[in-house]
Amino acid sequence: MTATAPAPLPIMPDQHGHFGPYGGMFVPETLMAALNELTDEYERAKRDPLFQAELHRLLREYVGRETPLYFAERWTEKLGGARIYLKREDLLHTGAHKINNALGQIMLAQRLGKTRIIAETGAGQHGVATATVAARAGLECVIYMGKVDMERQALNVARMRFLGAEVRAVTAGQATLKEAVNEAMRDWVTHVRHTHYILGTAYGAHPYPMMVRDFHRVIGLEARRQILEREERLPDLLIACVGGGSNAIGLFHPFLNDANVRMVGVEAGGDGIIPERHAARFQGGRLGVLQGAKTWLLADDDGQIQLTHSVSAGLDYAAVGPEHAWLHDLGRAEYSYATDSEALEAFQSLSRTEGIIPALESSHALAHAMKVAPQMSKDQIIIVNVSGRGDKDVAQAARMIFQEDLKF
Ligand SMILES: *Cc1c(COP(=O)(O)O)cnc(C)c1O
What residues flank ligand 1, with Cβ below 6 Å?
96, 98, 125, 201-202, 241-248, 314-315, 359, 361-362, 387-388
**Shortest CA distance to 268 belongs to which of 362, 140, 183?**
362
Q: Which neighbouring-strand residues pair with 266?
A: 241, 336
Residue 333 scores a pLDDT above 90: yes
How far the first Cα of the chain sits from its last, in Å, is: 50
Q: Which of 125, 74, 67, 70 is nearest to 351 (CA)?
A: 74
- Is 267 annotated as catalytic? no
Which band of pLDDT confidence, cut at 50, 70 and 90, is reported for residue 10?
low
Three-point CA angle 307, 313, 318, nearest 5°: 35
Residue 18: strand pairing partners = 23
Pocket test for ligand 1, best of 98, 145, 238 (most atoms within 8 A of CB): 98
- The whole-angstrom distance between residue 106's C-alpha and the CA centroid of its chain comes to 17
Give 281 or 174, the one with higher predicted confidence.
Answer: 281
Task: Work out the number of other CB atoms within 10 angstroms of the CB of residue 302.
Answer: 5
CA of 92 to the centre of ligand 1 (A): 13
pLDDT by residue (tens digit) across 51-67? 999 999 999 999 999 99
Q: What percent of the chain has pLDDT over 90?
A: 90
Nearest CA to ligand 1 atom 15: 125
* Ligand 1 pocket: which of 347, 387, 392 to mutate (most atoms within 8 A of CB): 387
Quick one: pLDDT at residue 407?
65
Burial classification of residue 407, based on how many CB atoms lie within 10 Å of its CB (0-12 exposed, 13-18 middle, 19 or more buried): exposed
224-230 long-range contacts (CB < 8 A, ≥24 apart) are 224/6, 224/254, 224/255, 226/66, 226/68, 226/69, 227/69, 227/85, 227/381, 227/383, 228/3, 230/69, 230/71, 230/85
Contact present, 254 and 9 (Cβ < 8 Å) = no
pLDDT for 174 equals 87
| Given 89, 120, 179, 183, the catalytic residue | 120
**Tens digits of per-residue pLDDT, 274-315?**
999 999 999 989 999 999 999 999 999 888 999 999 999 899
**Residue-wise over 369-405: b if at least 16 C-beta within 10 A, else e?**
bbebbeebeeebbbbbbbbbbbebbebbbeeeeeeee
Closest ligand 1 atom to the C-alpha of 200? 7
CA of 360 to the centre of ligand 1 (A): 10
CB 145 within 8 Å of CB 157: yes
Per the annotation, the verdict on 120 as an active-site residue is: yes
Ligand 1 atom index nearest CA of 203: 7
**Candidates 120, 239, 241: which one to mutate for ligand 1, based on the most atoms within 8 Å of Cβ?**
241
Ligand 1 center–CA 243 separation, angstroms: 6
Pairing state of beta strands 262-270 and 237-241?
parallel
**How many C-beta atoms lie closer than 10 Å to residue 280's C-beta?**
26
Of these residues, 349, 354, 387, 392, which one is catalytic? 387
Q: 334-339 and 262-270: which strand pairing? A: parallel
Domains of the chain (ranges; CATH) run: 19-60+97-208 (3.40.50.1100), 66-95+217-401 (3.40.50.1100)
In this predicted structure, the answer to whether residue 138 has a pLDDT above a threshold of 60 is yes
* Other C-beta atoms lying within 10 Å of the C-beta of residue 110: 15
Closest ligand 1 atom, residue 250 Cα: 9
Determine which helix (DSSP H) or strand (DSSP E) holds 36, and give its type and residue range. helix 29-47
High-pLDDT (> 70) share of the chain, %: 97
Q: Which residues contact 30 (CB under 8 A, 6 or more apart)?
A: 189, 192
Give dist(CA 111, CA 126) in Å, integer. Answer: 21
As a whole number, mean pLDDT of residues 254-260 equals 96
Active site residue 387: yes
Indicate whether 194 pLDDT > 50: yes
pLDDT band at residue 1 under the 50/70/90 scheme: very low
Tens-place pLDDT, residues 72-106: 999 999 999 999 999 999 999 999 999 999 999 99
Q: List the residue whose alpha carbon is closest to atom 2 of ligand 1.
A: 314
Residue-level pLDDT at 4: 57
Q: What angle do CA 64, 59, 55 make, to 5 degrees?
A: 170
304: exposed, middle or buried (C-beta count within 10 Å: 0-12, 13-18, 19+)? exposed
State the average pLDDT for the chain. Answer: 95
In this predicted model, what pLDDT tens digit does every residue of 217-226 receive, in sequence order? 999 999 999 9
Among protein residues, the one whose CA lies closest to atom 3 of ligand 1? 314
For residues 179 and 57, give the distance between their C-alpha atoms in angstroms, rounded to a whole number: 36
Q: Which of 98, 178, 294, 392 is catalytic?
A: 98
pLDDT of 9 strictly over 70: no
Q: How far apart are CA 268 and CA 339, in angstroms?
A: 6
